[in-house]
C-alpha cells in the first residue's frame, strides 16, 4: 500500500453508535430535537445536503456555538487503542495517511493534535466551522468537493494528485456513509461496523467486526 485513507468518527474513535462530531455538538448545546428535525427533512428530500448544512450553521450561530465548545467536545473523544502506533508505523513505512470525514475539522484536528498524530497525516478533508478571534462562530466552509457523501470522488482526487493506482490505496471506514469508497477501486476495510453490511463483499473487501486495537489493520497494509 502507498496510502491509507481513514474515516474518523467510529473508525479512529471509540464512540457509541451514531454519535459523530455533529451529534456531539447538538448534544452539547442541548438541541438534539432540532438535529432530528433537520435530519428528517433531509431524509424526506425536503432539503438537499447544501440546504441542510446551511440550516445547521444558522442554528449554531443562533445558539452561539463557540470555539471552546468544540475544544471541550474534542477533550472527551477517545481514539481507538493503538491509533498512535498504527499511524506511526504507516508513516515510518512511507505510507501516506489521509482522513476523509463528514465531521468537523476543528474537533478532529484538536483530537489528533492532542494525541500527537497530526504530523503523520498528509491531509484531512472535512467540514469547517470558522470562528472569529473571540471564538465566535461566523462562517462555514464546505469541503473541496462540496460534500463528503461521495468519498469515492475524494479517493479519485487523491489517486490523481499523488499518482497512486487503485491497488495502492486502502480505505478504512465503519459506516453507511463510507460505502461509496469502493467505487474508487481502492481496497476497502470495515472496522467496528455501524449501519453497514460487512457481508456485502462488493462494498467491503475485508472487515474486522470487533476491532479492539487499530494495529489489527496493519496486516491489510502490506507491512
Q: Which residues bind Mg ion (CB under 5 A)?
A: 7, 9-10, 174-175
Nearer to Mg ion, 74 or 137 (CB): 74
Q: Is 96 helix (H, G, I), strand (E, B) or coil?
A: strand
Q: How far is the CB of 114 from Mg ion (least distance, A)?
A: 20
Nearer to Mg ion, 195 or 222 (CB): 195
Give the residue among 37, 45, 110 at the shortest CA–CA distance from 77: 110
Nearer to Mg ion, 9 or 179 (CB): 9
Q: How far is the CB of 175 from Mg ion (least distance, A)?
A: 4
Q: Are 105 and 9 in contact (CB under 8 A)?
A: no
Q: Is 100 helix (H, G, I), strand (E, B) or coil?
A: strand
Alpha helices in the chain (DSSP H): 21-28, 32-43, 49-62, 67-75, 83-92, 105-114, 151-162
Q: Is 176 helix (H, G, I), strand (E, B) or coil?
A: helix
Nearer to Mg ion, 7 or 125 (CB): 7
Q: How far is the CB of 124 from Mg ion (least distance, A)?
A: 14
Residue nearest to Mg ion (CB): 10
Q: How far is the CB of 32 from Mg ion (least distance, A)?
A: 19
Amino acid at each position: 500500500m502507498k496510502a491509507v485513507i481513514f474515516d474518523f468518527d467510529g473508525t479512529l474513535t471509540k464512540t457509541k453508535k451514531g454519535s459523530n462530531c455533529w451529534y456531539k455538538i447538538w448534544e452539547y448545546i442541548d438541541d438534539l430535537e432540532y438535529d432530528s428535525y433537520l435530519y428528517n427533512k433531509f431524509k424526506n428530500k425536503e432539503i438537499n445536503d447544501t440546504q441542510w448544512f446551511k440550516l445547521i450553521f444558522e442554528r449554531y450561530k443562533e445558539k452561539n456555538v463557540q470555539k471552546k465548545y468544540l475544544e471541550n467536545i474534542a477533550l472527551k473523544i477517545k481514539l481507538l487503542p493503538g491509533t498512535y502506533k498504527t499511524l506511526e508505523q504507516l508513516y515510518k513505512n512511507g505510507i501516506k495517511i489521509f482522513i476523509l470525514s463528514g465531521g468537523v475539522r476543528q474537533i478532529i484536528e484538536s483530537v489528533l493534535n492532542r494525541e500527537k498524530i497530526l504530523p503523520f497525516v498528509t491531509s484531512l478533508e472535512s467540514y469547517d466551522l470558522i470562528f472569529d478571534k473571540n471564538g465566535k462562530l461566523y462562517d462555514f466552509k464546505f469541503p473541496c468537493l462540496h460534500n463528503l457523501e461521495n468519498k469515492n470522488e475524494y479517493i479519485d482526487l487523491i489517486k490523481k494528485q499523488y499518482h497512486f493506482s487503485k491497488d495502492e490505496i486502502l480505505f478504512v471506514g465503519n459506516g453507511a456513509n463510507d460505502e461509496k469508497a469502493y467505487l474508487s477501486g481502492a481496497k476497502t476495510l470495515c472496522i467496528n461496523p455501524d449501519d453497514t453490511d460487512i457481508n456485502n463483499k462488493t462494498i467491503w473487501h475485508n472487515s474486522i467486526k470487533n476491532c479492539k486495537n487499530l494495529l489489527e489493520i496493519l496486516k491489510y497494509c502490506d507491512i
